[in-house]
Amino acid sequence: MEASEEKTEKPSSGVSAAQRRAELRRRKLLMNSEDRMNRIVGFAKNDSDNSGNIVIVRLEPRFHLDLDRTQPWSSSSPSPRPSELPGASLEDEMGGLRQRAKLERGDDLSGSPRRSLQQYLSRFDDAMKLRSQLANDKQAQDGGSDSEELDPFRIFRLIGSVLLAVFVRVFVCKYLSIFAPFLTLELAYMGLSKYFPKVEKKTQTTVLTAALLLSGIPAEVISRSMDTYRRMGDVFSDLCVYFFTFIISHEIVLLIASEAP
C-alpha cells in the first residue's frame, strides 16, 4: 500500500519536479540575459560565487541591453552599485576594499559603455559603406578610362598657358624669366575662375579617404584638403603645359632660324 502510494506520489512529484526544474531554468535564463549579452558583445566578466566572499571583477565596462527583461535591474545585477555600498555590510575587509575599488572603476565606465558601443557600431557601419563605395568606384574606374576630366575652365587655362608660352618665347624671354609671366597668368586665373560655371566634381572614395574618414578626421576637412590638392594639380598642369610649349616653340624657332639662309 505504502509502496503503491509512494509509486503514485513519485510520478506526481516527478512531474512537479520536472515542472519545478523547468521553471528554474526559465528563471535562470531570464536572470542571466545580461551575462549572455555581455558574452555576445565580448565583454569579459568573471562571475563571483554566490557566497559573497569572492568579489565580482568586471574587466570591461558594464553593458546592459535587455529587451525582454521582466525583472528590475537591481535584483539581477551581479554587482551592487556604489550607492549601495555604504549601506552594505562587508563580511571580509580585504574583499570589501577590493570590491569598492573595482566597483568605483566600473561605475566610472558605466556611463560610457553604451556610447562606446554605439560609436563602434557607427564606425563599423561607416567602414562597410566605404567598402562598398570603394568597390563601386573601383568598378567604375576599371570600366571607364582613368583620364582627368576637362571642364571649360580647365580647357581655357590650358589654351591660355599655350598662347602665353608662345608669346613669351617670341617677345619676352630675352628680358626676364619665363616664370614671371606664368605666375601673373595664374593670378589672373584665380580671379577669372568665378566667371566660369563651377563643375561639381564627385569625390572619389579611395583607400586614403576611407582611412582618413575612419580615423576620425571630419569629412569637411578632407573635402577641403582634396579641393586644395586639386587646385595645386591644376596649377602644376598649367606649368607643365606652359614649359612644354615654351621648349617646343624654342626648338621650332631654332629650326626655322637654322634653315633660313
Partner 1 sequence: MGEIPGRQSPDAGSSNLSSSSASLRCSTAGTPRRRLLNMAWFLVLSSVFLCNLMKTLLPSISSFLTKMVQKDAEQESEMRAEIHQMKKEQSSISMMDEFARYARLERKINKTTDKLKTHVQSRTAQQAKMKWVVNIVFYILQAAVMISLIWKYYSDPVTVVPPKWIAPVERLVAFPTGVAGGVGITCWLVVCNKVVTLGLSAIS
Q: Nearest distance from residue 102's CB to partner 1, in Å? A: 57
Nearer to partner 1, 124 or 236 (CB): 236
Please give the size of the binding site for partner 1, defined by CB under 8 A.
23
Q: Nearest distance from residue 170's CB to partner 1, in Å? A: 13
Q: Does 145 bind partner 1 (CB under 8 A)?
A: yes
225 to 254, contacts with partner 1 by CB under 8 A? 236-237, 240-241, 243-244, 247, 250-251, 254
Considering only 4, 50, 51, 258, the residue that binds partner 1 (CB under 8 A) is 258
Q: Which residue is it, cell 567604375?
A: 140
Considering only 127, 150, 211, 219, the residue that binds partner 1 (CB under 8 A) is 150
Q: Does 173 bind partner 1 (CB under 8 A)?
A: yes
Nearer to partner 1, 89 or 147 (CB): 147
Considering only 178, 210, 212, 222, the residue that binds partner 1 (CB under 8 A) is 178
Please give the residue ranges that form the binding site for partner 1 (CB under 8 A).
145, 147-148, 150, 155, 158, 173, 177-179, 236-237, 240-241, 243-244, 247, 250-251, 254-255, 257-258
